[in-house]
Amino acid sequence: MSLALNYKDGDKKNIDKLTAREKTMVVKEVPDLFTYLAYMWFPGSTIAPFHEFATFDDFIHLRGRFASLKSFETWPAAFKRFTQGWLCVIVMVGIIPVYLIPKGRDYVISDEYVNMEGNFLFKAYYQIMTVKGEMWTYYVGFCFMEAGMIASGCGFDFDKQGEKEYNSARSVGIM
C-alpha cells in the first residue's frame, strides 16, 4: 500500500502539495519484481512495525541515514529488544496466569463468573487482567519482529541531537 501511495506522490502534479516528509518518501519509478517481493517479505512491510518502501530501498542500497551503519553495531540494541521479548514471555506465561488471573482466561465466560452477584470490582479487575494477558501475547511477537529489524539495521535512525537510536521500527512501547 505504501508503495502505491508513494508512487502516486511522485507524480509531478502532486509534488507541490506534499509535506517535507512525504517528499522524502516519493518513489519515482516502479521497482522491479525482485525488489518489490523483497520489500513485501521483509519484516515490517506487511505487519507491524511498518516502514515505507523508500526507507527499505535506502536501507538495501545503504543510502541516506543507512550509509553510516557499520557491521554489528546494531546488535546490542537488537539484543536488548530481544531480551524484552523474552521478558514479555515470562510475564505472559509465568506471572499473569499464575498470580493475576489464577482461574484462567476462560473463567470470564464461565457460568460461575456470569452468575456472580455483586463484587463488581473483582469482575472488572478480572476482565482487565484477562485482556492485558492477551495483549502480552502480541507484545512478544512485536518485540521479536522489532529485534530482527533492529539487528538488520532497518530500525536505525538519528534523534534530534544527531545521536544514533534504534527505535524507528518501534510498534509497541513496553519499557
Task: Say whether 9 sits in a helix, a strand or coil.
Answer: helix
Do residue 61 and residue 125 come from a single domain? no
Which run of H or of E encompasses 157?
A: strand 157-158
Q: Kindly state whether residue 122 falls inside one of the protein's structural domains.
A: yes
Whether the predicted pLDDT of 112 surpasses 70? yes
Per-residue pLDDT, 22: 80
Q: Is residue 60 part of a domain?
A: yes
Higher pLDDT, 157 or 81: 81
Residue where a domain stops, chosen among 46, 68, 90 = 68
Averaged over 68-89, what is the pLDDT? 89
Among residues 39, 68, 97, which one ends one of the domains?
A: 68
For residue 175, is it within any domain?
Answer: no
How much of the chain exceeds pLDDT 70, in percent? 95
Is 62 found in the same domain as 105?
no
The pLDDT tens digits for 10-51 are 777 777 788 888 888 888 888 999 998 888 887 766 666 677
Instruction: Between 81 and 16, name the one with better pLDDT.
Output: 81
pLDDT in the model for residue 44: 63
Q: What is residue 1's three-state secondary structure?
A: coil
CA atoms of 67 and 55, how far apart (whole Å):
12
Q: Is residue 149 part of a domain?
A: yes
Sequence-ordered alpha helix ranges (H) in the chain: 2-9, 20-24, 33-41, 53-60, 75-90, 111-114, 120-152
Full domain range(s) for residue 59: 2-68
Supply the pLDDT for residue 134. Answer: 84
Q: How many domains does the chain have?
A: 2
What average pLDDT does the structure give for the chain?
83
Listed residues 12, 39, 68: the one ending a domain:
68
